[in-house]
Structure formats: structure tokens, C-alpha cells
Structure 1
């Protein structure tokens, strides 16, 4: 334990509510930096510096079910993950990647070449392949709330143990999701690969956001979003499209016009 940890633990033993004090400080800091997170996101203009057929997708979503994650605050019970710079609750890029990959493998299977092409090779794979998808953090401007869940036994649907308090982002909370697709040069069927990639991306996004969710408690329906959202899609060369749900996004990507090399 570092010196700060020892100090916090000492105050905690003295019945000082150091967890609540820290939370108030973090909330104050997050108010000071609540607009700084925009610098973490790519812009449509950045596409001009990337390979042909690169695509940027932004989804401005609203939570239908609570979202939670596993933070590291020793003085909070089941805390949500926060960004160290802004102190805002976040969804990490690795969380997005893991959940979208999970949804995509439900559609294609874990060993399908398109999964490796989009998400890269597995950590235990001998061949290192970089995926074509790039993920970015989601910052929630709203403050986290509290919720309680009671785990149930699968057989009897009776409580397996007592209620568990969680720090969550409540339903109605809004967030921005950014996804960048950069197709590295492929083989002779490069054009067909891009069409396959974009089709699977659209289907996997629907499955992740509308069915499975993207939360640490996704098996309980946590992290599912409202059907209606505000979406933008930008293609290299200045082409842009707007959409109001992920079914519309599928239609847009189905009609994608391939940029010749």
C-alpha cells in the first residue's frame, strides 16, 4: 500500500468518511473538466489523413437500463470506473472493444476471419494481427447514482445472497460512442472485405446496444440503450450521413459506395 493508501486507511479507521470526502472532491474536479474530454475524440477532418474507405461513426445514445463497471476506489462499494484526468465516469475503449467483439462472435463465431480482421488476433495467438477498428472512451457528464441488485439462483429464481449495492449510471443518462474503421490494404478481394466488414459492424452494434448491452452486468440487461438515438456517419472525402437508429445505419452501410484506389 502506498503512502496515500496508508493515510486514507488511517482516517477510515478513525471513523472519518474519507470515501464521501473523496467523492465530493472528484465531483468538483469533474465539473472543472467536464468539457475537456472532447479532445479525446477523432473528427471527420481526420479521415482525410487516413486510408481510403475509412469510416467514422458517432452514436449519441440514451441508457434504457443502468450501466455499471468495476472501478478501483477502495472506499466505495462496487464503484464505477472513472477517468483519472477528468474524474468523469467512463466506458473504457477496451470495454467497448470486448463487448462489440462478443456481439460480433455471436453472429460469426470466434474463429471467423472477419472477426480477426476487425478486432485483431487473440492475446494467445501466435500471429499478431492488428484489427481495423479503433475505439475511444465514452465520458458521462451526469453524476453516478446508486442501485441495488439481488443475485438469484438459476434453478429456483430465489435470492442466492443478500442485496449488492452498486454505483451506476442511471437510465436516461446520455453518452457518446465513437468507432473508427480503418481498412488496411488487403488482397484482391479488398472491396468485398470492406462490404463484409461494414455489414458485420452494423449488425454487431445493434446486438450490443439493443440486446446484450455493454455493462459489467450485461447478463442482467445492464447497458442496453433506447432504440432512438442521434447518429452520424462520416466517410473519407467529405460524405456524411445522419440516422436516428441502428437499423437506419445498416441501410446506410449496405449502400456504401466504395472509394477506388
Structure 2
């Protein structure tokens, strides 16, 4: 028996709607564990236990446009996804992977070999290949706010239907993004593969964060970030470099000197 479904139904019937009471409960939980989310983030020291040429990218971004996502409520899909442990609004690792892959395919096409190396093969593929990229959740310490959007018809730019209420993370909200690159051994051109991988990662990050966004409403411009950020790139052996925007990160990755095996 699905107790979560029964619990949601009880709140829906008891309170006349699930959104407000469930949000209050999750916010109360977040107050007890609001700092525990840091345990989900990777440590630069972990690179010493990973294969050569592994790279960790981390930066704090600021939303330029609102962010929203589709929660798991049985009665509304317009609630932002929340972590069940901390109660904080979050971006799932799978969401990051899907959006970055979308940006990368816009640059290279879906069947490009670099795409498959980085993100892995598609579920329906005969050859199961694990990708070289590892994603981590992003947690927002600030609470979500209520907003309303009105979908427009593309042809006439007139309302397609009535206003839709939804939860959003407002512009100015900060979040932390982490991406780990772990290159498994390739062919004799392994060094060239790493250079190709890192170049595409840099370009895809710029396209996702600055142009397409990473929100469920990205076609409306949701989920785009400010260009300035606080970032750091770590390599094996304790080497690290700071960057203040994704264009600087692109230059760092473009000049990356890989270790010979």
C-alpha cells in the first residue's frame, strides 16, 4: 500500500488542498536539517582516489530568471522538487544531466561519440556505456515563492489558457553546482579524447546556464543565471584554479594539461 499517496490524499481532503499544508511541513523539516545538505557535495580531496585526469568543477551561481521544477505531489505538478531529508528546494542530479546533455546535443548532435563518452549511451542502445560525468544535487537555502504565468499562443501571442499558479525560486537566489569528470581509459588517442571532452563540457555549460536555462519552463527563459559567479576547478595533486564566469572556465579547460598514464 502506498502510504505516501494516502498521506497526500488526507491532506488534500482535510485542508482543502495539499499545496499549503505540505509546504509548511517540508519547511519545518528544513529548519532542523538546513545545513546538512553540504554532506551531499563532493570534496576536492576525493580526486586523489580517482583515476588520473579527473577534474572537479564547482561554483556558486545566482539566478537571473526564476527557476521552477515539477514536484511529486499527486495533486499538483507545479510545486518545486524538495529533498525529503532536508526539506530544501533542490535540483536533482538527473535534472542537471538531462539539461546539460540537451545543451551538448545542440552543439554536437545526439549521436556524437563525445556525447556518448560524457553522458553514457541511451537506455534503448544495445551497447551500454557509462558516461564520464557525475552530477550532484543543488540545494537552495532560500524558500520558494508563489508566482503565476499565463501561457501564450505562439501565433497570436494571446493567452492560450488561464493563469497557472506555480512555485519558483526567485531571481537573485544562489545555488551551488558541482560536476565531476572521471575519464575511464580510452583508446590510444586518450589525450585527444580528454581535450575534446573538456572543450564540450565548457561550451555546454555556457549554453545551458547562459542561454537555455535548466528549469522545467526553460522555453520561457526560466533557469538562466547571471554571468558573474564564484567558481573553482580542482585537479588531482592539489592543483586548483579560480574563475569568475564560465568563459574563464572555458579558457582554463582549453589549456588543461593532462597527465600521461
The interval holding the TM-score normalised by the smaller chain is over 0.9
Partner residue of 1:70? 70
Superposed, 1:193-212 pairs within 5 Å as 193-212=193-212
TM-score of the two chains, using structure 2 as the length reference: 0.95
SS of residue paired to 1:260: coil
CA distance in 1, matches of 2:164, 2:18: 21
Superposed, 1:1-261 pairs within 5 Å as 2-3=2-3, 5-6=5-6, 8-10=8-10, 12-15=12-15, 19-74=19-74, 78-261=78-261
CA distance in 1, matches of 2:31, 2:90: 15
CA distance in 2, matches of 1:189, 1:48: 24
Do the aligned residues in 2 keep the contact of 1:66 with 1:168 (CA within 8 Å)?
Answer: yes
Offset at residue 18 of structure 1 (A): 5.5
CA distance in 2, matches of 1:242, 1:24: 39
Do the aligned residues in 1 keep the contact of 2:70 with 2:77 (CA within 8 Å)?
Answer: no
Instruction: Give ranges in structure 2 of 5+ residues lacking alignment.
Output: none
Deviation string for 1:170-218 (max 9, x for gaps)?
1010000000000000111000000010011000000000000000000
Deviation string for 1:14-44 (max 9, x for gaps)?
5556542332221111011111111111111
TM-score of the two chains, using structure 1 as the length reference: 0.95
Instruction: Give ranges in structure 1 of 5+ residues lacking alignment.
Output: none
SS of residue paired to 1:30: helix
CA distance in 2, matches of 1:24, 1:194: 47
Q: 1:205 to 1:164 in 2, by over 3 A?
A: same
Q: 1:206 to 1:18 in 2, by over 3 A?
A: closer
CA distance in 2, matches of 1:78, 1:107: 30
Do the aligned residues in 1 keep the contact of 2:5 with 2:74 (CA within 8 Å)?
Answer: no
SS of residue paired to 1:234: strand
Offset at residue 9 of structure 1 (A): 3.1
SS of residue paired to 1:73: coil
CA distance in 2, matches of 1:224, 1:11: 34
Do the aligned residues in 1 keep the contact of 2:70 with 2:80 (CA within 8 Å)?
Answer: yes
Q: After alignment, is 65-74 or 218-227 more displaced? A: 65-74
Deviation string for 1:24-75 (max 9, x for gaps)?
2211110111111111111110000000000000020000000000001245
Do the aligned residues in 1 keep the contact of 2:138 with 2:176 (CA within 8 Å)?
Answer: yes
How large is the RMSD of aligned CA atoms in angstroms? Answer: 1.6
Q: 1:8 to 1:181 in 2, by over 3 A?
A: closer
CA distance in 2, matches of 1:83, 1:7: 17
Q: After alignment, is 1-10 or 41-50 more displaced? A: 1-10
